[in-house]
Amino acid sequence: IEVHEPGVGHCLLKAGDAGITNLRLIMHDAVEVLAGMIPPASLARVNLYFPDPWPKKRHHKRRFVNAETVGHLARTLRPGGLVTRW
C-alpha cells in the first residue's frame, strides 16, 4: 500500500526486474485500506517502511502507528502473523 506515485512506479519496476508475478499493490491511503478493504485474518505479514518519520510533537497526528491502525493490523493479521518495522 503506497500513496506516493513515484514509489509505486519504482516498486513495479523493481518487481518486474526481479520477475515477481504475485505482487498486489494498492495506491491508496493505508489506514483506509486496512479499515475496509483487507479481510480479517488474511495477512501473514505486514512490513512497515518508515512508518513514523514525524519526530516533532505537533506532527504526531500524522504518525501511522497509533491505537487505530494497530487495531486494524490486529484484525487483518492471521494468528501468528508478523508486523515488521524497517
- Evaluated on CA atoms 69, 63, 25, 33, the torsion sign reads positive
Q: Is 52 one of the annotated active-site residues of the chain?
A: yes
Of 27, 33, 52, 64, the active-site residue reads 52
> Measuring CA to CA, how many Å separate 22 from each of 1, 19, 37, 57, 80?
15, 9, 18, 39, 22
Active-site residues, by number, are 52
